[in-house]
């Protein structure tokens, strides 16, 4: 068995919001071999650079010409290659000084998060943008000798196994696949979720904006609900409401889990969770209806006979 060397590294995502979109600072290569490929600033941590926070600052400056302030630790990514393993600490920053620099072989530049993710020429580092919405990143990426993805594994699937030990299995017919619902049923479920799973006051403007979103992309909205449940163990609509009011719906929806990038085992667990989440919205509707009927029956029983 070949023992692959394990190297420690740091990677920093500098983010900013403009009037219309969220942007990330990327490196675009100009040399012939890597021309037009996108990367995220990051470097290996040598023995002389033990502190990953300080390393993130100075290496970011060396690569981009920009000083970042108060980088925040977001988690860890393991990149397994045929000949080595990279153990990368991930940081994000929003405060900076100076402008991006350009050299003979590469250019530091701002790019919308969506455009970076959808680009055809990217290094694996750009894929991590899909996970930045999480409270903490725990990802393993397996690559071939050409830096192409073999599979991506997220640590949250250990939590999913726990969910399915305690969740009811097939106890009723509510564990229905999302794809089996009609358009009208999907619309009803999503609108109910938005209004009844919120801890924040919802205005008429909010409701109308969400209904328009439901008409445009119901499946993407449901994927967001499932992703929020997986990462945060929550079905609340508050996160989407905040992004809606900030005109950043595309940003939050782009961070939903993408089943096609999961392993077969993980994909199976993910689709089971989709069924459960849809069923839980239905169950909440029934619980609310039953509570209303019980309250009505109680009020009726307490009413004096002369007033019946």
DSSP letter string over 250-292?
HHHHHTS--GGGS-HHHHHHHHHHHHHHHHHHHHHHHHHHHHH
For 26-54, what is the mean pLDDT? 82
In this structure, whether the domain defined by 6-155 belongs to CATH 3.10.450.50 is answered with no
Tell me: pLDDT of 187 over 80: yes
Global pTM value:
0.52
* Cα pseudo-dihedral 75, 80, 81, 85, rounded to 10: 70
Distance CA 78, CA 140 (A): 5
Distance CA 46, CA 106 (A): 23
Extents of the domains making up the chain:
6-155, 159-292
Tell me if 12 sits within 8 A of 41, measured CB to CB: yes
- pLDDT category at 170 given cuts 50, 70, 90 is very low
For 195-218, what is the mean pLDDT? 90
- Output b/e per residue, 183-217; b: 16+ Cβ within 10 A: eeebebbbeebbeebeeeeeeeebeebbeebbeee
Give the per-residue pLDDT at 100.
93
Of residues 286 and 223, more confidently modeled: 223
Give the per-residue pLDDT at 2.
58
Tell me: pLDDT of 111 over 90: yes
Most confident by average pLDDT, 183-197, 228-242, 252-266, 275-289: 183-197
Distance CA 100, CA 11 (A): 17
Tell me: pLDDT of 174 over 60: no
Give the per-residue pLDDT at 216.
94
Least confident of 72-76, 209-213, 264-268: 264-268
Tell me if 88 sits within 8 A of 42, measured CB to CB: yes
Of residues 259 and 240, more confidently modeled: 240
- Indicate the angle between helix axes 264-302 and 157-166, nearest 10 degrees: 40
Share of the chain above pLDDT 90, in %: 26
Tens of pLDDT, residues 56-84: 888 899 999 999 998 998 888 989 888 88
Give the per-residue pLDDT at 167.
40
Half-sphere exposure (Cβ direction) of 20: Cα atoms closer than 13 Å: 3
Give the per-residue pLDDT at 93.
92
Tell me if 263 sits within 8 A of 227, measured CB to CB: no
Least confident of 19-33, 90-104, 130-144, 176-190: 130-144
For 243-257, what is the mean pLDDT? 88
Which is nearest to 220 in space by CA: 253, 196, 197, 189? 253
Most confident by average pLDDT, 156-160, 197-201, 215-219, 278-282: 215-219
Secondary structure class of 230 (helix, strand, coil): helix
């Amino acid at each position: 068995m070949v023992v692959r060397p394990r190297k420690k590294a740091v990677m920093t995502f500098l983010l900013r919001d403009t009037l219309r979109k969220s942007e990330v600072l990327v490196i675009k290569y100009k040399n012939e071999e890597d021309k037009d490929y996108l990367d995220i600033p990051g470097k290996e941590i040598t023995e002389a650079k033990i502190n990953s926070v300080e390393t993130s600052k100075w290496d970011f400056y060396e690569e981009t010409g920009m000083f970042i302030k108060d980088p925040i630790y977001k988690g860890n990514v393991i990149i397994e290659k045929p000949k080595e393993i990279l153990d990368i600490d991930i940081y994000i920053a929003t405060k900076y000084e100076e402008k991006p620099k350009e050299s003979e072989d590469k250019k530091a530049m701002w790019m919308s998060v969506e455009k970076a993710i959808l680009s055809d020429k990217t290094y694996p580092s750009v894929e991590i943008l899909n996970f930045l919405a999480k409270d903490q990143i725990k990802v393993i990426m397996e690559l071939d000798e050409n830096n192409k993805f073999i599979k991506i594994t997220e640590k949250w699937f250990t939590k999913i196994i726990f969910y399915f030990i305690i969740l009811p299995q097939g106890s009723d017919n509510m564990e229905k696949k999302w794809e089996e619902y009609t358009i009208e049923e999907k619309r009803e479920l999503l609108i109910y979720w938005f209004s009844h799973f919120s801890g924040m006051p919802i205005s008429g403007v909010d409701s109308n904006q969400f209904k328009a979103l439901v008409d445009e992309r119901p499946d993407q909205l449901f994927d967001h609900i499932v992703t929020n449940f997986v990462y945060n163990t929550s079905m609340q609509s508050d996160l989407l409401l905040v992004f809606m009011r900030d005109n950043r719906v595309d940003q939050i929806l782009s961070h939903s889990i993408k089943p096609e990038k999961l392993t077969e085992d993980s994909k199976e667990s993910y689709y089971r969770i989709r069924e459960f989440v849809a069923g839980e919205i239905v169950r909440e509707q029934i619980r609310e209806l039953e509570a209303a009927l019980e309250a009505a029956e109680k009020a009726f029983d307490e009413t004096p006979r002369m007033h019946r």
